[in-house]
Chain A
Amino acid sequence: MPFEDEEKQKLKGEVHKLIAARDQKHQSNFVEFRNFKIVYRRYAGLFFCFCVDTNDNELAYLEAIHFFVEVLDAFFRNVCELDLVFNFYKVYAILDEVFLAGEIQETSKTAILNRLDYLDKLE
């Protein structure tokens, strides 16, 4: 779904407001948002948010977030926020290896990491 830049910024703001205000201990990791649902997971100070259809399997997406984070962790070797900031383009590359067109494309961590290492060497 394409959005104008302005809309994207607005979305980011809204989602941030929505998620950051939530009680991490006593609330579920799912929030209704517009006509969708946001599945989010918090890692230290970082929130990973996925926007999914209302009848998608929330638990599976929660797991997918964790899977993505594990890949990040393996790639950066104990990932931290600064890794993601300074290597944002690499994060995108990893994202592109795990998800495509909004769907999971690979569930083997080894396969992904091998690709990434190879891609890294190409540069």
Chain B
Amino acid sequence: MSTAQQFFNNVEKYIPKLGVLRLKDLIKQIRACKTAADERAVIAKESAFIRTSFKEENVETRHINVAKLLYIHMLGYPAHFGQMECLKLGGAKDESESAQEVGAKDNIKGQMDQRLSVELLPSWKIFANLLFDPIRTVASPKFADKRLGYLGIMLLLDENQEVLTLVTNCLKNDMNNSNMYVVGLALCTLGNISSQEMARDLSMEVEKLLGSSNTYVRKKAALCALRIVKKVPDLMENFLSRGKNLLNERNHGVLLTGVTLLTEMCQLDPEILSELRKNAVGTLVRHLKNLVTAGFSPEHDVSGVTDPFLQVKVLRLMRILGKGDSEASDAMNDVLAQVATNTEASKNVGNAILYETVLTIMEIESENSLRVLGINILGRFLANRDNNIRYVALTTLTKTCQNNPTSDSSALQRHRSTILDCLRDPDVSIRRRALDLSFFLINAQNIRILTRELLSFLEIAEGEVKNSVAVRVCDFAGRYRPNKRWEVDTVCRVLRVAGAYVDQSVVNHFVKLVTTSPPELQQYAVRKIYNIVKNEGERALTQEGLLQAMVWCVGEYGDVLVSGGGSTEQGIFGEKDEGEEAGADPLQGEYQVAPAEGDVVAMFTELLRGPYATLAVKEYSVTALAKLTGRFRDGSVIEQLRALIAKYQVNINVELQQRAVEYARIMGLDGETRAALLERMPVLESALKEESKKGSGVPVAENAPAAAAPSGGAELLGGLNDDLMGLGIGESGAAAGAGGGDIYNMVFGGSGTAGGGGTAKNDNIMDLLGGIGLGSAPVTSTPTSASSASKPTTDLLGDLFGGGAPAAAASPVSAPPISVDPLGDLLGGFGGAPQQQEQQGRSYQCYDKNGLRIALVPTKEGTSLRINAKLENVGMVGVGGVAFQVAVPKTQSISWLQALTSTDIGPGGSATQIMRIDNPKKAPIRLRLKVAYSVGGQGVDEIVEFSGFDPSLWA
């Protein structure tokens, strides 16, 4: 041994002379590099050197070379490609068996090299054999070499690599080594990189070592067991009895690792959990008590606290054991109170323990006084100057509120102002958390104060959170409003400060609110929102949500808006505008000014002229303008309105154009019919339902509680649509449908008279036309807004124009086809097209998003079906790279008759693709459609299911 040692020492001495760069020198060289290119050059040179050195089987320098290799790897340079090739070349067994004898090893290495050179592998594959070096080093008797070797394995390999199987044997040998450090090394490696297979192979060894008399080995074995259990939960049983024994340890390291292991096991297996509940709670309580009451113990002291890490782990395990179990929880109450009161909170260590204690208190079935204590600790945290502490306090409070909305709220209210202060914290993560928490604080008593705070936060919030805040403020404003006018003011203010960011749901909220209001409040609301837009001037033009709400309201209530004098309402609403901060708004009086009819038209002109008006705003506007022709008196103003509508009779957007043409026709009708058509919208049933719940503190809409979800808008819209359907067809049933059909013939058939059946079925007319009015107001925006609610909309429109009659199946349910003269098409459609053609030529819309609309037109041909897919671009921008694929169930087969005619579809353009589905078993046809395209620079890839074909197509 001594001679060997001497030999190594000598070698060390001569290494520099042999031309081998020492690790230190390499690091120095690399650090001295001024450019990345220099660094790459140094590393390339050194890598080449290491490679040859390995090839020459230079035992003395291997240690250094491996270290250098690891350094190179750490810098992010490749150090191990092609393990698989490597595996094929050398056998794992050969490696470990030969491990002890250098001579044998050389032999194998020689063989490998030979094979490498024989096969003339590319250089990177030769380089791959470097990987073997760490493994071989592991087998070295010298401890330092072994450690470096294992380090290499831990760094270069991960559990997915098959080379690991080579390592398993080495580990097994080393775990049985008499030297505890060697055993420790092997355990450490296993704990860091164990794969499932290794876990199974070595679980026995670990179990044995878990019972070792050596604490150093035991604690490492415990964490190895943790890794094994995580990888292969089935192996848990093996460790259970020895694991439980670890709880009685006195050594902190072993106890700590034991608790960690048991925590994991409890989470994985409810049986172990209930067993530990019975047996371990007492032990844990005792341990914790000892830690808290222990005097200064230098070994485990961290700034005056005895082993905080162990305390935290014990508290965590107690939390799992006490959750949902009152007996276990009772046993913990005392010690938790002790920890909560005795822990020093001036340092981070103490706070870490307090934090864990609070988490445990909140999650187990603890006494009420303890819970209050917990909330108060968090309240103290909130006032702490340290951001970290505030951060955990906010997170925990939010979590507590989510789990337990009511019971802790009064304790929480006391910390309200502190929480609101956090809304202005410079740290965004603290702001976000404070925001979430603020909504939990809201109740009927503090709604005014909190809404004011939240509104001022809304003004400074980043764009992406604005919408979610806006939606939630509106939701809560409805839930806890002190009165309705306050809610109107609040939503108005939301629209004013975040109009550019809000989604449809906020607009809908406002619309519903106004429609359900009494007349005076309607006037108040309409004037207010009108004047907000007016006062905002140009800034309002980009605020889409604000504009939509304003346009809709003005359209519906234009007569109220312009009627009467200025601020006569002051008498009715004597109180101050409650949504605004006191004194902050000198314009208050101006918000109730009644504009002249001409002013309103001028505003619309202005609004539509600019480049900012989005399609949705334009659609809203055209409908509003049409409605205003029935609201305003001044003949010249009405002429202006007509002129504005007329402009849209020629427009690239079909929807807009069609509406404009229809409205122009409506205006040509006689007064009575026109008045009926332009009736005010009936109040939505869902709005009434929500209205009845408002102010009571319960969630108003189904999706209310955490309405931050973007789906909120879609759901609300869905609600609107349902109501529309109900209004138009559902309620009055088939009769209305039939009547409606007549009326359409009358209205659009160009008969020009409104006599006969029309007036007789006046109710039905109202229903239907009411439907149209709404259909074209809030709903028409959906095709462009790409929301998921777009489908019902088009169905609805289709139904409406299809007369909503039982013959709906026979009419074009999908969107109206593009045509220069939509009216003509409509007329054709209603003019009694032949029944047969309707059966065959019916088009089914299966996709409508981002301006891309796909309609399928099936034709039956014996047992097969020929489907003509038409892809239309109804958006404003081109759709490129379109790929359209269809899959059918196994009983059917699909073949393509014609590929997609074009993969790029410009605005207003279309492409077709024809397929045939053979369906010998006459099974229902279900299609899975894969649509991929890019629009506006963004790729879209979607899969939709479609099964809406008429059963007659396969029966």
In the complex, chain B residues whose CB is within 8 Å of the CB of A119: 143, 147, 181
| A16 smallest CB distance to B (angstroms) | 12
Contact call B224/A101, Cβ cutoff below 8 A: yes
| B76 sits at the interface (CB 8 A) | yes
| A6 smallest CB distance to B (angstroms) | 9
| A104 sits at the interface (CB 8 A) | yes
Q: Identify A57's interface contact among B252, B352, B391, CB under 8 A.
A: B352
CA distance in complex: A89, B27 (Å): 13
CA distance in complex: A67, B257 (Å): 17
CA distance in complex: A98, B13 (Å): 33
| B259 smallest CB distance to A (angstroms) | 10
Contact call B387/A26, Cβ cutoff below 8 A: yes
Q: Identify B388's interface contact among A30, A100, A115, A118, CB under 8 A.
A: A30
CA distance in complex: A59, B158 (Å): 30
User: Could you tell me which residues of chain B, from 115 to 151, have a CB within 8 Å of some CB in chain A?
Assistant: 143-144, 147-148, 151
| B361 sits at the interface (CB 8 A) | no
Interface stretch, picked from A42-50, A72-80, A106-114, is A106-114
Q: Identify B160's interface contact among A2, A92, A106, CB under 8 A.
A: A2
| B916 sits at the interface (CB 8 A) | no
Q: Identify A89's interface contact among B78, B151, B191, B307, CB under 8 A.
A: B151
CA distance in complex: A107, B297 (Å): 12
Quick one: closest B residue to A70, CB to CB?
Answer: B302
Quick one: closest B residue to A29, CB to CB?
Answer: B388
Quick one: closest A residue to B179, CB to CB?
Answer: A122
CA distance in complex: A23, B389 (Å): 16
| A103 sits at the interface (CB 8 A) | yes
Contact call A60/B308, Cβ cutoff below 8 A: yes
| A62 sits at the interface (CB 8 A) | yes
Contact call B309/A60, Cβ cutoff below 8 A: yes
Contact indicator per residue, chain B 249-266, by CB within 8 Å of chain A (1) or not (0): 000110011001000000
A107 and B430 in contact, given A28-B390, A28-B391 (Cβ under 8 angstroms): no
CA distance in complex: A56, B282 (Å): 24
Contact call B143/A103, Cβ cutoff below 8 A: no
| A31 sits at the interface (CB 8 A) | yes
A27 and B387 in contact, given A88-B74, A107-B307 (Cβ under 8 angstroms): yes
| B426 sits at the interface (CB 8 A) | yes
Q: Identify A106's interface contact among B31, B192, B219, B389, CB under 8 A.
A: B219
CA distance in complex: A118, B216 (Å): 13
CA distance in complex: A30, B348 (Å): 14
In the complex, chain A residues whose CB is within 8 Å of the CB of B349: 63
| A96 smallest CB distance to B (angstroms) | 5
CA distance in complex: A58, B673 (Å): 70
In the complex, chain B residues whose CB is within 8 Å of the CB of A63: 302, 308-309, 348-349, 352
CA distance in complex: A103, B258 (Å): 11
Contact call A89/B148, Cβ cutoff below 8 A: yes
CA distance in complex: A115, B390 (Å): 38
| B604 smallest CB distance to A (angstroms) | 46
CA distance in complex: A57, B391 (Å): 12
Contact call A57/B355, Cβ cutoff below 8 A: yes
In the complex, chain B residues whose CB is within 8 Å of the CB of A27: 387, 426-427, 429
User: Interface residues of A: mostly helix, strand, loop or mixed?
Assistant: helix
| B457 sits at the interface (CB 8 A) | no
In the complex, chain B residues whose CB is within 8 Å of the CB of A23: 426-427
| B442 smallest CB distance to A (angstroms) | 25
| B263 smallest CB distance to A (angstroms) | 10
Q: Identify A123's interface contact among B143, B160, B351, CB under 8 A.
A: B143
CA distance in complex: A96, B298 (Å): 23
| B180 smallest CB distance to A (angstroms) | 10
Contact call B309/A64, Cβ cutoff below 8 A: yes
| A21 sits at the interface (CB 8 A) | no
Quick one: closest B residue to A4, CB to CB?
Answer: B158
| B72 smallest CB distance to A (angstroms) | 11
Q: Identify A107's interface contact among B158, B298, B310, CB under 8 A.
A: B310
Contact call B352/A108, Cβ cutoff below 8 A: no
In the complex, chain B residues whose CB is within 8 Å of the CB of A103: 223, 226, 257, 260
| B188 sits at the interface (CB 8 A) | yes
Contact call A105/B307, Cβ cutoff below 8 A: no
In the complex, chain A residues whose CB is within 8 Å of the CB of B392: 58-59
CA distance in complex: A3, B157 (Å): 10
Contact indicator per residue, chain B 404-437, by CB within 8 Å of chain A (1) or not (0): 0000000000000000000000110110000000
CA distance in complex: A119, B179 (Å): 12
Contact indicator per residue, chain A 1-31, by CB within 8 Å of chain B (1) or not (0): 0110100010010000000000100111111
CA distance in complex: A115, B188 (Å): 14
Contact call B300/A108, Cβ cutoff below 8 A: yes
Contact call A62/B27, Cβ cutoff below 8 A: no
Quick one: closest A residue to B27, CB to CB?
Answer: A86
In the complex, chain B residues whose CB is within 8 Å of the CB of A3: 158
A2 and B159 in contact, given A86-B24, A107-B253, A122-B181 (Cβ under 8 angstroms): yes
| B388 smallest CB distance to A (angstroms) | 5
User: Could you tell me which residues of chain B, from 84 to 117, have a CB within 8 Å of some CB in chain A?
Assistant: none
| B716 sits at the interface (CB 8 A) | no
Quick one: closest A residue to B78, CB to CB?
Answer: A5
| B485 smallest CB distance to A (angstroms) | 41
CA distance in complex: A93, B387 (Å): 33
Contact call A101/B302, Cβ cutoff below 8 A: no
Contact call B252/A107, Cβ cutoff below 8 A: yes
Quick one: closest B residue to A32, CB to CB?
Answer: B429
| B356 sits at the interface (CB 8 A) | yes
Contact call A26/B426, Cβ cutoff below 8 A: yes
| Candidate in A3, A58, A60, A62 with the most chain B CB atoms within 10 angstroms | A60
Contact call A9/B351, Cβ cutoff below 8 A: no
Q: Identify A100's interface contact among B67, B192, B356, B430, CB under 8 A.
A: B192
In the complex, chain B residues whose CB is within 8 Å of the CB of A28: 387-388, 390-391, 427, 429-430
Quick one: closest A residue to B351, CB to CB?
Answer: A59
CA distance in complex: A52, B252 (Å): 23
| B830 sits at the interface (CB 8 A) | no
Quick one: closest B residue to A109, CB to CB?
Answer: B299
| B71 sits at the interface (CB 8 A) | yes
Quick one: closest A residue to B313, CB to CB?
Answer: A104
Contact call A2/B158, Cβ cutoff below 8 A: yes
A89 and B70 in contact, given A26-B387, A101-B227 (Cβ under 8 angstroms): yes
| B68 smallest CB distance to A (angstroms) | 11
Q: Identify B302's interface contact among A31, A32, A67, CB under 8 A.
A: A67
Q: Identify A110's interface contact among B219, B299, B308, B353, CB under 8 A.
A: B299
| B496 sits at the interface (CB 8 A) | no
Quick one: closest A residue to B391, CB to CB?
Answer: A28
Quick one: closest B residue to A111, CB to CB?
Answer: B253
Q: Identify A108's interface contact among B78, B154, B299, B426, CB under 8 A.
A: B299
CA distance in complex: A30, B393 (Å): 13
Closest 3 A/B residue pairs (Cβ): A59-B352, A2-B158, A123-B144
Which residue numbers of B lie inside 8 Å of A, CB to CB?
Answer: 23-24, 27, 31, 67, 70-71, 74, 76, 78, 80, 143-144, 147-148, 151, 154-155, 158-160, 181, 187-188, 191-192, 216, 219-220, 223-224, 226-227, 252-253, 256-257, 260, 298-300, 302, 307-310, 312, 316, 348-349, 351-353, 355-356, 359, 387-392, 426-427, 429-430
Which residue numbers of A lie inside 8 Å of B, CB to CB?
Answer: 2-3, 5, 9, 12, 23, 26-32, 57-60, 62-64, 67, 85-86, 88-89, 92-93, 96, 100-101, 103-111, 115, 118-119, 122-123
26 pairs from A and B in contact (CB 8 Å cutoff): A5-B80, A26-B387, A27-B427, A30-B429, A60-B309, A60-B352, A62-B348, A62-B352, A62-B388, A63-B308, A67-B309, A88-B70, A100-B187, A100-B191, A100-B192, A101-B192, A101-B224, A103-B226, A105-B257, A106-B253, A107-B300, A107-B307, A108-B252, A118-B181, A119-B143, A123-B143
- Beyond contacts A2-B159, A26-B427, A93-B147: 5 other A-B pairs, Cβ-Cβ < 8 A, are A27-B427, A60-B355, A100-B224, A101-B224, A107-B252
